[in-house]
Structure 1
C-alpha cells in the first residue's frame, strides 16, 4: 500500500532550486531518511517544468542526470517515487516562451518533457508512478488570471489548465486527447511504470459533480485513480460521499491529505471510513522533524509534530490490515 508524503523541499522552498548544490542535496538526503523513519514507503516529488526543459524541444541533460541520482537515493533509502510532472508552481520561473505557446504546441512540449523523464526513469525499481500533472482543469482564465496556472497558496500555483480556450469542445474529448498524447510519449520509453493524474475532487464542492479525468472515456488510459482530499471539520461524511464518486473499479490513492481544515481525529475518521475504497495515502512533509516542529519549525510548529507522530503510527496500523 502506498503510504507517504508529498515533498516540495524545505518549507516555502522547492528542492529543485538548489538540489545541484552540496547543501541542497544533503537536505534531500536528510529529509528522505526522516520520511522513511516516519513510516513512508512513497514520496511524491513535484518535477518543475522549467527545471527540465531549456526549450520546447530541448530537455536539460544535467537535470535529467540529477533525477536519476534522486531515484538512486530513493531506492537506497527504501522509498518509491510518485513523479508528478509539468509543474509551474512559481510564476516568475515559468519560461516566457512556454506561456506563449498555443495549445497544440504546449502539449507537444509537455510530451517532450514526459518522453525525457520516462527515458530517464524506465526500468528503475524506485519509480512508482508518473502523475501527468497536478490538479489539471479545462477552462478560460479570467481577465486578471494567468493564462495557464492558478490555485495560488503560499506563493505557489498548484492548479494548471491543459486548455484555456475550450471553444465549445467537449471537455472529456479535450481531457482524453491530452492524456493520450502524454501517455504515448511515456510508453515510447517506459512500458511498465504506472500512470495517473492527481485531481481535485469537485464532488466535494458540487455533490452532483462527475469526474472528468476519471470518466470512463478518459480513465481507460490511466492505471489508477489519484485524488486530493482535505476534509472539513464536521463534514467527514461529505468527504466520504465525494470519495465514493472516484471508486470506479481501479485502484484508488488519496494522493494528498492533511488535517488542514479538520482535526487529526477527524482525518483519522476519514481514513478509517475509506478503508474499503482507498488503496494508498500520501500526506505532507515540510522538511522538519517532529522535534524541530516542537521547537517552532514552520508551519504550525507543535500541531504538525503531533500530526507526523500520528501519521507514523497510523501507517503501521494500516499496513497490518
Structure 2
C-alpha cells in the first residue's frame, strides 16, 4: 500500500521497555563497523527532521513526542537503523558553562524512542538551526573563547551520555569550513595549508574533549563534499578540512554528497562518477567511510530520484560502508533540494525511493573491493586552480564510465540485428526473432532468424543469414522450426542450433547440411539456446529445459554434462578449459569437473533487474559482457568482483544476443 496508514501504525504501537542495544565499534579490518558482540553493522538511515517545523527545521523547539515515535516506527519498517540529528546552540548550549536542561530532556526522550525502535542515533552539532547566542557569533575555529566553549560542550555532553549505546557516534559539526580571508598577494597554496592547520587544531581539541569524558565514543566530522577539491566553484570554497590530515584524529570518516556536476553529458552518470571519486579519495585515509548526507537535489520525478540514489549507494558499496539519506520527509517550505530529497512526501506517502531504500536495507552487503588503477586527485594543484579538478573529474569519468561500448545486438524486440556505437544505432538489418548474431572477421554479420514465430509451433520459416556491411546477402540457409543459435566454424561451415528439430546442423557454404548431431534433450522450444563449436571439434550446447550444458564430440556422443540449478542459455569454453554458463537466474564458471569456481546470482545485482543472463562474452580482462534479456539494464559489463564496470544508460529493445566489437579478443 503506497500511503502510510499512520493511525493504524500508532494503534499497533505499544510503549515497551527497549532491550539494551549493543555498542557499535570499528571492526578489526579498519574498514567497516561491528556490534560489540561481533555482528556486522552498516549504518543505513536518514538525517532526521520533521516537516512543518520551519526552515531551517526547529527540531527541538517544536519537538513532538508522538509524531517522532510514529516516525521511528515508519523508519524501522523501511529498514532504517541509524538517524543523524542536529543538536543546536538554541536548545542545548545557550551558555558557555552548562547544557540546557530543556533541550537535554527532549534529547533523552528522543533516545528512548530510538531505543524502543532499535535505531541508533548520530548527533551532530552544536549548530545554528535554532538560533545562535551572541557569545557564539565569532569564528568558532580560531577564537579561543569559542574553541574552549565547544570543548566544554562536548565534554559535558559525552559525559552525560557515556554508556548510552544507542548513540552510534558523535559528529563534531555539520560541514565545517575554515574562513577564507587572505591578504593581498598571499601564496594561495601556503594559505590553504594554513587553513588546514586551523582545521586540524579544531578537530584535535574537540575529539580530545569527547575522549576525555568517554574514551569508547566514536567520533567523526561531517565533511562537505568540497573537502575533496574535485569540483570547486572557486578555490576559496575548499573547506580546509583535508581528509588525509583529519583522519588521524577521527575514528571514521564522513563525507556529504549531492549531484552538482553540471558539465555537458548525462547528468546522472557524471555525478555517479563524481560521487565515487569523492568517496574514494576519503577512503584513501584507510578509515571507514560513511556518506552521512546524500540525496536527490533537483526535480525530475520520484523514479529519477529512486534510480539515482539507489545507484549512488550501489556504486560506492565497498568504498563506503554507510549511507544516510538527506531527510525522511520532503519539506515544502525548504529553499533547497530538501523539497524533494525525502523518502516520504510531506504528507507521509511512500515515494519510489522509499521502496528502493527498503530493498537495499534488506539486501545490502559491503563487498571486498579490489584495488583499481584509477586517476587520483592532484590535491595541491586543485587547491590553487579549479581547472585541475575539472580535468580530474573528466579523467575519472572516462575511467569508470568509458565511452559507450560498440556492440552487435540481436534485438528481437525491434526485429533487427544492429550495431550500437556510443549509444546510437549505426547499422541495422531486418531479422525477425533473432537471438544470436556475430560480426565475422571479414566485417559481415551472421545471424539466426525466425519468421512468424510462435513458441508453441515448430514449423515456422527460419534459418541463418550472412550479410555484408552494405547489406548484401552472401549466405542464406533456410529451414523450419525454431532456430536459436548460429556460429561460423573454423572450416568455413556454419553451426545451426535447431531447437524444434532437437539437432545441431552443420551447413556448408552452399547451404547444404553435411552433418547432424542429435541432442539428448527433447526437441521443441526449450530444447536448446546457444550451441558452440569448440577448437577440438566438439560441440557445447546449453540445453535450457534440461538445466544443463552438454558437450558432444564430432560424432554426436555425449562427452560430459554440467548440471546446474537454472535453465541455461549461454555456454562459453575458455582457454583454461573452464566453462562459463549463463541462464535464467545466474551466470557461473565451472572447471573441467563441473566444480564452481565463480558465480553471480541475480539477487546479488538487484539494480540491474536481471530477467535472463542470456548471451555472455568473456573479455580479455576476465570481465563479462552480458545481455540481460528483458531486464532493467539490457547490456552491461561486470567484473569478477561483481561490480558493474559499464552499462547501457538508455533503453534498448528486448534482445538476447550481444557481441562486444571494440575488443580484439574475447570468448563467446
Provide the C-alpha distance between the structure 2 equivalents of 1:241 and 1:168, rounded to a whole number of angstroms: 21
Shift of 1:198: 0.5
Deviations along 1:282-317, whole A, 9 cap, x unmatched?
A: 1033458xxxx9xx9439x87x71212221112112
Determine which of 166, 176, 198 is the counterpart of 2:200. Answer: 176
User: Is residue 266 of structure 2 the alignment partner of residue 249 of structure 1?
Assistant: no
- Please give the secondary structure, in 2, of the residue aligned with 1:133: strand
1:188 aligns with 2:207: no
| Structure 2 CA distance for partners of 1:205 and 1:197, relative to 1, 3 Å | same
Greater relative contact order, per chain length (Cα 8 Å cut-off, separation 6+): 1
- Taking the TM superposition and a 5 Å limit, the aligned residue runs for 1:162-311 are 170-202=194-226, 203-206=229-232, 212-232=240-260, 233-234=267-268, 235=270, 236-247=272-283, 248-261=285-298, 263-287=305-329, 297-298=345-346, 305-311=351-357
Equivalent of 2:89, from 41, 44, 49?
49
Higher helix proportion = 1
Query: What SS class does the counterpart of residue 285 from structure 1 fall into?
Result: coil
C-alpha distance 139-314 of structure 1, shift in aligned 2 (>3 A): same
Aligned-pair Cα RMSD in Å: 3.0
- For the residues of structure 2 that align with 1:259 and 1:217, how far apart are their CA atoms? 29
Tell me, what secondary structure is at the counterpart of 1:58? coil
User: 1:18 offset after TM fit, Å?
Assistant: 2.4
- Equivalent residues in 2 for 1:7-156 (5 A)? 7-11=48-52, 12=54, 13-19=57-63, 24-90=64-130, 93-100=131-138, 103-140=143-180
After superposition, the Cα gap between the structure-2 partners of 1:100 and 1:3, relative to the gap in structure 1 and judged at 3 Å, is closer
Q: Which digits, 9 at most, give the CA deviation of each residue in 1:42-80, with x for residues without a partner?
A: 000110122111312222133223323322221121000
Distance change >3 Å, CA 194–CA 214, structure 1 → 2: farther
Runs of 5+ unmatched residues, structure 1: 143-165
Q: Structure 2 CA distance, aligned partners of 1:250 and 1:70? A: 29
Cα distance between partner residues in 1 of 2:151 and 2:250: 16
Paired position in structure 1 for 2:47: 6
| Separation (CA, whole Å) in 2 of partners of 1:267 and 1:276 | 16
- Which TM-score applies when normalising by structure 1? 0.79
Structure possessing the higher radius of gyration over alpha carbons = 2
Q: Is the 8 A contact 2:254 2:290 kept in 1?
A: yes
CA distance in 1, matches of 2:322, 2:193: 34
Q: 1:44 & 1:168 partners in 2: Cα distance?
A: 30
User: What is the distance in 1 between the residues matched to 2:164 and 2:288?
Assistant: 22
The structure-2 alpha-carbon separation of the partners of 1:214 and 1:225, relative to structure 1 and needing over 3 Å to count, comes to: farther
* 3-state DSSP of counterpart to 1:5: strand
Residues 224 and 239 of structure 2 are in contact (CA less than 8 Å); yes or no, is this contact kept in structure 1? no
The alignment partner of 1:57 has SS state of coil
**TM-aligned CA distance change 1:270 to 1:297, over 3 Å:** closer
Unaligned runs of 5+ residues in structure 2 are 1-41, 183-189, 261-266, 299-303, 331-339, 368-668
Q: In 1, Cα distance between the equivalents of 2:126 and 2:96?
A: 12
- Taking a change above 3 Å as real, the CA distance of residues 35 and 319 of structure 1, as seen in their structure-2 partners, is farther
1:242 Cα shift?
2.1
Indicate the structure with greater strand content.
Answer: 2
Q: What is the total number of aligned residue pairs between the two structures?
A: 283
Preserved contact between residue 68 and residue 120 of structure 1 (Cα < 8 Å): no
